[in-house]
Amino acid sequence: MRHDSPTFSPLYRQIKNLMLNALESGEWRPGQAIPSEQELAIRFSVSQGTVRKAIDEMAAENLLVRKQGKGTYVASHNDPRALFRFLRLVPMDGDLAHPQSVPLDCWKAKAGNEAARMLGIELGAPVTILRRLLRFAGKPVVVDEIYLPGEIFQGLTMEVLQGSHGSLYSLFESRFGVRMIRAEERIRAVAADRMTSETLNVAEGTPLLSVERVTYTYGDRPVEWRRGLYLTADHYYLNELN
Amino acid sequence: MRHDSPTFSPLYRQIKNLMLNALESGEWRPGQAIPSEQELAIRFSVSQGTVRKAIDEMAAENLLVRKQGKGTYVASHNDPRALFRFLRLVPMDGDLAHPQSVPLDCWKAKAGNEAARMLGIELGAPVTILRRLLRFAGKPVVVDEIYLPGEIFQGLTMEVLQGSHGSLYSLFESRFGVRMIRAEERIRAVAADRMTSETLNVAEGTPLLSVERVTYTYGDRPVEWRRGLYLTADHYYLNELN
DNA sequence: GAGTGGTCTAGACCACGGC
DNA sequence: CCGTGGTCTAGACCACTCC
């Protein structure tokens, strides 16, 4: 019998979708182990090889992490290895000390034209805006302005930010149940304006990297829009092309 | 019997290495089809599944391209889809016209300190230096200065460059048998100097993206070092974080 | 030793491209 | 219709982790 359906999708991909649902619904939480391949094979009534292929894809997408001899785990931004997955800025003298995040400001507003388009929300819908500074070895290097859909990030305040210690995405994951899984960055070179130059302690007009990022969660839903200005005197943005 | 060897490598990876040799030696050439999975299984005396897993990895690394129903092919920079694999600059108004490469200058020199380090060659070894301009829709947007090991790229002259029509990497592949498979880019923001500002037709001091790239061929051997200056008034550098 | 993921095999069948 | 890659299965055995 031929299979003429134009929407054909192989079994392992259907299994993958079921597993994505388990992640999205919160049945399996970041940091926790998911059931063993054998258990999943029984649960979904397929062979272990088919489950395996589904997990393979999800591991390649950084959704799951396999650990031989232990099990398969839901990826988490609490994992320190995840920090530099989204922050590609590297010190020129390989000083790998973690940057320090300093919240500058946090307020609520209504989505403007651009924010609404980027976040896929209504014009005028509530957004939370956050400004923060990143210090490397004490020196200010990055200023970020971050737009978040107000509905999802209710209760995000300066107090919450100041009480948090890991990365922002780690906080978003733990406190708001939002896991960032993919992002697009648009990079340009700009001159530092007055305000930014003061924050970064450089001359006005200094060339800076402008990094606009849209970040997506499960189902390719955009949940963050941010613009970062990077001082690249002692750092560079590292990108691997494969 | 336990396998205590610390250098254990699974069968499919050994097969992969054999196949990498076939690529490196030129037995299989860019654009051509490699033998079928069944033939390879017989040739290497393993099951088809094991060959499959080797090919899977190489396809994921963009070394091979699978085409269902036809066969598996050696990836080639002649393939138009390969163009934007290494050029991440995108027009702000989605104008997808291919950029035009204009060679400006080409001369031979001896490797300085930095070039020698980046290319992994001796200080003073011969290098070929190439300057070229990239135009998008007629407008100058990128100036590149490209350092190539002279030994590998013997016979690269302005005439050769002007007579070539595809991408540079396409030329390198066809004419010099050098296939670029991976690159690292270090990106910073800089101010346009006098010469660059004239070439790009902008004011001196205009912020530009400085993109330093080291490109590697088989066996992680560096074979190109280049510095590009990108005008990001009407374009941006697009990076996908996964 | 028990349990997990990782490898390898052999065979059946499906989807696709081209003759 | 054939040959190609793509999927799915069932089972054996290996490597790693933890108790």
DSSP per-residue letters across A219-240: GGEEEEEEEEEE--SSEEEEEE
Residues 6+ apart with CB under 8 A from A186: A211, A212, A213, B236, B237, B238
B52 touches chain A (CB under 8 A): no
Do B240 and A191 make contact, defined as CB atoms within 8 angstroms?
no
Helix or strand (DSSP H, E) at B172: helix B168-176
What tens digit of pLDDT does each residue of B155-194 get? 999 999 999 988 999 999 999 999 999 999 999 999 999 9
Over residues A112-123, the pLDDT tens digits come to 999 999 999 999
Put simply, whether A2 touches B (Cβ < 8 Å) is no
Instruction: Identify which of B12, B32, B38, B17 has the alpha carbon closest to the alpha carbon of residue B75.
Output: B32
Count the helix, strand and coil residues of chain B and give each as a percent rounded to the nearest 5: 30, 35, 35
**Token output for B86:** 């290494």
DSSP 3-state of B104: strand
Q: What is the mean pLDDT of chain A?
A: 95
Assess contact for A22 and A28: CB atoms under 8 A: yes
Closest nucleotide to residue B4 (Cα to C1')? D15
Q: How far is A215 from chain B (nearest CA, A)?
A: 9
Q: Look at residue B124 in the predicted model and tell me its pLDDT.
A: 95
The H or E element that residue B12 is part of is helix B11-24
Q: Say whether residue A184 is in contact with chain B using an 8 A CB cutoff.
A: yes
Name the nearest CA neighbour of A216 among A139, A118, A150: A118
As a whole number of angstroms, the distance between CA A158 and CA A178 comes to 19
Residue B126: band (very low, low, confident or very high) from pLDDT cuts 50, 70, 90: very high
Instruction: Give residue-wise pLDDT tens across range A43-83.
Output: 999 999 999 999 999 999 999 999 999 999 999 999 988 88
Q: Are B115 and B103 in contact (CB under 8 A)?
A: no
> Which residue's structure tokens are 């302690």?
A201
In sequence order, the 6+-apart residues with CB closer than 8 A to the CB of B241 are A85, A86, A88, A182, A183, A184, A185, A213
Confidence at residue B22, expressed as pLDDT on a 0 to 100 scale:
97
Query: Which protein residue has its CA closest to C1' of D13?
Result: B1
DSSP per-residue string spanning chain A: -----TT---HHHHHHHHHHHHHHTTSS-TTSBPPPHHHHHHHHTS-HHHHHHHHHHHHHTTSEEEETTTEEEE--TTSGGGHHHH--EEESS---PPPEEEEEEEEEEE--HHHHHHHT--TT-EEEEEEEEEEETTEEEEEEEEEEETTTTTT--HHHHHT--S-HHHHHHHHH-----EEEEEEEEEE--HHHHHHHTS-TT-EEEEEEEEEEEGGGEEEEEEEEEE--SSEEEEEEE-
What mean pLDDT comes out for the span B10-36? 97
Q: Give the confidence band of A18 by pLDDT, cuts at 50, 70, 90.
A: very high
Mean pLDDT (chain B, rounded): 95
Percent of chain B with pLDDT over 70: 98
Name which of A182, A213, A242 is nearest B182 (Cβ-Cβ). A242
Euclidean distance between CA atoms A151 and A126, whole angstroms: 7
Angle at B174 between CA B170 and CA B177, to 5 degrees: 110
pLDDT beyond 50 at B54 = yes
User: Does the pLDDT of residue B217 top 90, yes or no?
Assistant: yes
Distance A97 CA to C9 C1' (A): 48
pLDDT tens, A26-45? 999 999 999 999 999 999 99
Q: What is the pLDDT of residue B3?
A: 45
Identity of the residue in B191, B230, B236 whose CB atom sits nearest the CB atom of A186: B236
Cβ-Cβ contacts under 8 Å for A117 (sequence gap 6 or more)? none
Q: What's the pLDDT score for residue A1?
A: 41
When pLDDT is averaged across residues B46-61 and rounded to a whole number, the result is 97
Cα of A188 to nearest chain B Cα, Å: 5
Phi, psi of A163 (to 5 degrees): -85, -5
Q: Do B191 and A207 touch (CB under 8 A)?
A: yes
Check pLDDT > 60 for residue A3: no
Question: Max CA-CA distance within chain A?
Answer: 72
**Cβ A152 vs Cβ A134: under 8 Å:** no
What tokens appear for A174 in the block?
Answer: 């733990």
Residue length, chain B? 242
- In this prediction, residue B93 carries a pLDDT of 87
For B176, the enclosing helix (H) or strand (E) is helix B168-176
Is the pLDDT assigned to residue B204 strictly greater than 70? Answer: yes
* Residues on chain A touching B84 (C-beta within 8 angstroms): none
Q: Is B67 helix (H, G, I), strand (E, B) or coil?
A: strand
In 3D, which of B68, B63, B104, B100 has the Cα closest to residue B85?
A: B63
Greatest CA separation found in chain B?
72
Question: What structural domains does chain B harbor?
Answer: 11-74 (1.10.10.10), 80-237 (3.40.1410.10)
Q: How many helices (H) and strands (E) are present in chain B, helices listed first?
A: 8, 10
Q: What is the mean pLDDT of residues A220-239?
A: 97
